[in-house]
Amino acid sequence: MEHESERAGDRRFPAPGRPTPLSTYRLQLGADLTFDDVRARLDYYVTLGATHLYLSPVLTAAPGSTHGYDVVDHSTVSEVLGGRAGLDRLAASARASGLGLVLDIVPNHMALPTPAWHNAALWSVLTLGPESPYASWFDIDFATGDGAILMPVLGARIGDVLAVGELTLDIIDVPGVGETQVLRYHEHVFPLREGTESLPLIELVDRQHYRLAHWRVGDEELNYRRFFDVGTLVAVRVEDPVVFDQTHALILELLEAGVIDGLRIDHPDGLADPAGYLARLSERSGGAWVVVEKILAGEEEVPRDWVTMGTTGYEGLWRVQSTFMEPAGEARLASLMHRVTGDEGDSLPALIDVSKREVISGPLYAEVHRLTDLAAEICREDLRLRDHTWRALHECLTVLLVCFDRYRAYVVPGEVTSREALLAMGTAAAAARTHLDTERAQTLDVLVELLLGREVGSAGRRREARRDELVVRFQQVCGAVMAKGVEDTAFYRWTHLTSLCEVGGEPSRFALSQDDFHAFAAHLVAHSPAALTTGSTHDTKRSEDTRAALGVLSEMAEEWAELVGELRARSARSRSALVDGRTENLLWQTIAGTWSPAGGPDGVGSPINFDRLEQYLRKATREAKTRTSWTHPDDSYEEAVLALAGWVLKDPQSLALYEAWARRTAPAVRAAVLGTKLVRLTMPGVADVYQGSETFAPTLVDPDNRQSIDAGALGRRLDRLDDGARPRDLADEKLWVTSRALRVRRGDPGAFLGPEAGYRPLAASSGAALAFARTERGEATAVTVATRGAVRLQRLGGWGEHTLVLPEGRWLDVLTGRAVAGGEQPVAELLDALPVALMVREDS
């Protein structure tokens, strides 16, 4: 839909004339899902009810890329996906079908591919060094390492590689360059600096604009900024207007031509100046719909000066999930965790601190070392600050990074610092001081003043290049520490209830009340009504259905503890002493969360297959970095973990215990799956459906959640339901609920995203009924009702005499076809067929 001119200047919405999605269907493109493949499925997406297709990155990516976030060429559309012609065909066909396109873009980094010539800009820098016309593209410190860019690709130390003759000269045909002499290391090839071709090999290697090194060196001496700790993703300096123009020309052309309608921005916190980037993007795109992948901590909000419609929805994701949690289960699950793992229920903050310290001293050491060098240089150059040593600054930086409770503070050199940024920095500094003695605290005070861009030291010394750089780099490093320390370490270690440890999640807030949720929804209407709401993404650690099933553990915590006790007793003789309690607790929950419920005449459910579980457990244990890791895998430990998993999946009695659990919890899982889905699709925001999540899909982290989706089979299933067939199972029911909700949104855009769209909680006599109305100009036009706490409700005897007050008028439940009068109505009758209801005015 398009918005009225009266919205000009309202940053919650695109500029007048620019379209806004009502809903998006998120597609993970690749060799098995090209533009033409998507074109062939357009009828299904239209029938489902989506208004826009949300495409993963489409620019040319590194060879063999499975996701597209490793871009190598900003000027071309991936030929693997079908090239520009294929994208244009898709856009034209989608438009003819009533669908628009929105695109995921990656401004923060590019790939360092193998072979490197696939990234022509980076190949130029490796060839010419700082004289390359692309040298300004990349965040490289040419002042260190004798001006050579560190390339940590060797499998052994350089001396050993040379000794065994693994470095050789070769001649290859480089596209756009021609026949070129290169330095080869197995599949890696690198250009030669002019004039070095005839030198002896050792001297030739030493004279290049790059330094070949053992891959482990990258964590300690890297002189280019990367994406978190991924050495093959090098940061791009889009804060430079020239670099912005060169890397965004094609994207802006696609927007101008109407090929795409909007953008999702990957990881803006990695940029030097996110606010400046978004302002430039808005200006150059004519105010297009733009949302950002921004993780908000606690009650943090998107900075007010960001020109964006809002985030991709992680803050809504965890709030919806926690609204369906049973708070009474928190203590019992904490007790179980302590018994299995030794972790106390209140020890998450300490675990996060330890995890952050580990990544600072490990995979992010090079980034923090570079930051410390910069701070030390600033102090060394100012007589009044000279006695603050490198070691003191490093210790203070470490503690401050550990104590920072969010991805970054948004301080821009030369600009007024916001109250929110000052508060964030002040809170972190206050916490850091409790870990420092008086001497170090004085250094911390100086450091904080520097990081806020204030005058400290000699009078007048404030806006200097290095001081400005320190302000920016600290924030970029801060985000990396949060991502790697919390999301990718602590959240794989904390097993209180694993579904709470989601991207952007707040596991310390176990459950939310209805009032909490209603307040959040009202806030969305007022501040970011055109932001995304989502339940599953390509990055979530567990799908929405896996999390919903695990959430039921909170409703039956005592029974779950008993089940785990039986499983532990059954597996005691088969469980190696190498298997730690955290991984064991993770395993029990993972099997329960991914169990496929009973369906069909035999009524027998099924566990996750071993191949999927093996893949997940390897990733989870390596991310946890407790006993094994990606850089230091412990084969004995991993095999012990997998042996336990394999034993459980083959043990008839263990499987029988899980089957009994699945049968017992099936009504509660059904209520949670359908309830969380309907709420997400009808709450304020642009409803986002990740591919396959329109049906029951209890998947895990990538690559498990990036498998191909059989849209043909889903289309036939939806056609059958549309023709009047009854849902056969939970998968059918979820598809039915999803399609009806999306169609209601599409048919009533004013209530969901119009200029007068609103949200109104509805009164019910039972807290188990979560109900709200979507309104336009104050009049209710759609009503959502969901069941929360299904187990407690059943224990209390069901809905009984409980009632719900519907807005006045006549209503039609689009899920059951039942007509209902407004006013006070018995909930038992509204929800006798399904644990959810979606009502529209009968005359609509």
Give pLDDT tens digits for 8-32: 346 789 999 999 999 999 999 999 9
Give the residue-averaged pLDDT of 176-194: 95
Selection from 21, 11, 6 nearest residue 54 by Cα: 21
Give per-residue pLDDT as tens, 308-366.
999 999 999 999 999 999 999 999 999 999 999 999 999 999 999 999 999 999 999 99
pLDDT value at residue 229 = 83
Residue 405 has φ and ψ, to the nearest 5°, of -100, 10
pLDDT for 822 beyond 70: yes
Give per-residue pLDDT as tens, 87-130.
999 999 999 999 999 999 999 999 999 999 999 999 999 999 99
Burial 763-797 (b: 16+ CB within 10 A, else e): ebbbebbbbbbbbbeeebbbbbbbbbbbbebeeee
Q: Which CATH superfamily is domain 116-234 in?
A: Maltooligosyl trehalose synthase, domain 2 (3.30.1590.10)
What span, in angstroms and rounded, lies between the C-alpha atoms of 714 and 739?
Answer: 11
Q: What angle do CA 352, 356, 361 make, to 5 degrees?
A: 150
What span, in angstroms and rounded, lies between the C-alpha atoms of 41 and 46?
Answer: 9
Q: Where are the beta strands (DSSP E) in 226-274?
A: 226-227, 230-235, 262-265
Within 10 angstroms of residue 576's Cβ, the number of other Cβ atoms is 12
CA count, 13 A, side-chain hemisphere, 433: 13
What span, in angstroms and rounded, lies between the C-alpha atoms of 527 and 524?
Answer: 5
What span, in angstroms and rounded, lies between the C-alpha atoms of 264 and 54?
Answer: 9
pLDDT value at residue 1 = 39
Give per-residue pLDDT as tens, 484-514.
999 999 999 999 999 999 999 999 999 999 9
For domain 23-108+238-281, the CATH class is alpha beta
Q: Quick one: pLDDT band at residue 600, thresholds 50, 70, 90? A: very low
3-state helix, strand, coil in the chain (%, to 5): 45, 15, 35
Burial of 475 (0-12, 13-18, 19+ CB in 10 A): buried
Give per-residue pLDDT as tens, 122-169.
999 999 999 999 999 999 988 877 789 999 999 999 999 999 999 999
Give the residue-averaged pLDDT of 682-707: 96
What secondary structure does DSSP assign to 101-124, as a single string?
Answer: EEEEE--SEEE--SSGGGSHHHHH
Based on C-alpha coordinates, what's the Rg of the chain? 28
Give the residue-averaged pLDDT of 386-392: 97
CA count, 13 A, side-chain hemisphere, 437: 2
pLDDT value at residue 599 = 53
Fold for the domain defined by 754-844: Immunoglobulin-like (2.60.40)
Residue 214 has φ and ψ, to the nearest 5°, of -60, 145
pLDDT value at residue 759 = 98
Give per-residue pLDDT as tens, 211-269.
999 999 988 888 889 888 888 899 999 999 999 999 999 999 999 999 999 999 999 99
pLDDT for 6 beyond 50: no
Question: Which single residue is written with the structure tokens 């007022």?
Answer: 526
CB 490 within 8 A of CB 507: no
- Residue 463 DSSP label: S
Domain boundaries, the chain: 23-108+238-281, 116-234, 350-469, 754-844
Helix (H, G, I), strand (E, B) or coil at 631: coil
Residue 120 has φ and ψ, to the nearest 5°, of -60, -35
What span, in angstroms and rounded, lies between the C-alpha atoms of 836 and 679?
Answer: 9
Give the residue-averaged pLDDT of 627-637: 96
pLDDT value at residue 5 = 30
Amino acid residing at 591: I
Structure tokens at 512: 């939310």
The CA distances from residue 68 to 29, 71, 101, in Å, are 8, 6, 17
Structure tokens at 185: 């290391």
Q: Quick one: pLDDT band at residue 460, thresholds 50, 70, 90? A: confident
Sign of CA dihedral 401, 405, 411, 416: negative
